[in-house]
Structure 1
């Protein structure tokens, strides 16, 4: 996917967010929930203008990053060698956030929406998409498993991202299964934290193995 085409898709996401805000704005309360706790109850609020504007601003910010990051990557860490994968993963992140943000607006407007389920399912799906393309990422400062050891070695980067891709896919599947079978809500966060720790530890172990060899 060319960057110009992906930027167009990204701007469509911004337009969808704007259309949803214009449609739901009259139904929003004076204080719009912008954060929900593990029990699914809102615990953070913004005034209606700012609460309604947040989805549009976040989508616009992600579109700006999609355009900006390739141009500011340092020499030796360019995104151009995997620009199609970079664009696809950035759009996947934007799409997942769009679903979560719009669900929050719909819930704030008085419709019955389980924010925990929407967030967990979106996160699980996103992890699976990221995992499927993780092995195609090349060393860079903006996207991927960026630890001191992956950034110091091409070999460590490649091996960590091949293994990390499987970890991401497995974690995403487990998160979605946990939601489908009514698992405890803390399990999603536990699985993601465990995956993150495993990726970091694996990169260290691979680095030490390569250095000794």
Structure 2
């Protein structure tokens, strides 16, 4: 387990360094024209910024990754038993996969659409849908095995007061996200857009709502729950 933990730490440091270097490069060498900083569900930009804003966004994601994944690695090293250590390492891996996939993809979409307000559009929403599918698939595969922690999981007031509610709500969220992610990946190349992207996002929101309700339901019937 020590080697696996070390590899995760090294991978986290590498991704943080790459994101930081990208932020610095964009701040000084990026496009000087307007950059689309937010897109609607049809792929059209609805807010514009400049390279400094994009650099700040990428740098912020690097900081979030370093603090979150690094903190999970720290707690994993200090964990009193192997089971909790493995769970925290899974949470670290999950954080690394999600931010490591989302940050470069979002940056590439912004830079590729940097042709001015008239033409800055994501030409195909299949790629965002596929990214959502990948992130959901990876999250779902790991989420059910993550123990209570400060950063990752279905963190509701009820799941934090009941270990049973934590386990069941995270397992439910993991299963739903896995199958939704798999369906999104398979459907992305052929789904009509923007309908496919809407369905993928809506499915994730419904999965999150179901997990929240499950955490409350299990907490209410758990004899070992902690009171508020």
Aligned residue in 2 for 1:156 = 165
Q: Does 1:43 align with 2:35?
A: no
Within 1, Cα distance between the matches of 2:27 and 2:74?
36
Gaps (5+ residues) in structure 2?
none
Aligned residue in 2 for 1:174 = 183
User: Are the counterparts in 2 of residues 132 and 169 from structure 1 also a CA contact under 8 Å?
Assistant: yes
Equivalenced residues, count: 209
Q: Does 1:190 align with 2:202?
A: yes
Gaps (5+ residues) in structure 1?
none
User: Are the counterparts in 1 of residues 26 and 52 from structure 2 also a CA contact under 8 Å?
Assistant: no
- Deviating more after overlay: 155-164 vs 120-129: 155-164
Q: CA RMSD in A?
A: 3.3
Q: 1:8 to 1:167 in 2, by over 3 A?
A: same
Within 1, Cα distance between the matches of 2:30 and 2:168?
50
Residue-by-residue CA offset, 1:146-167 (whole Å, 9 max, x unaligned): 1222111112222222222211
Residue-by-residue CA offset, 1:166-205 (whole Å, 9 max, x unaligned): 1110121233344233241321221111111111122222
* TM-score normalised by the chain length of structure 1: 0.79
Match 2:13 to one of 6, 11, 14: 11
Q: Does 1:100 align with 2:102?
A: no
* TM-score normalised by the chain length of structure 2: 0.75
User: Are the counterparts in 2 of residues 175 and 191 from structure 1 also a CA contact under 8 Å?
Assistant: no
Match 2:134 to one of 116, 125, 135: 125
Q: 1:197 to 1:112 in 2, by over 3 A?
A: closer
Within 1, Cα distance between the matches of 2:187 and 2:101?
18
Q: Does 1:144 align with 2:153?
A: yes
Aligned residue in 1 for 2:212 = 200
Q: Secondary structure at the match of 1:136?
A: coil
Deviation at 1:22? 3.3
Within 1, Cα distance between the matches of 2:23 and 2:50?
17
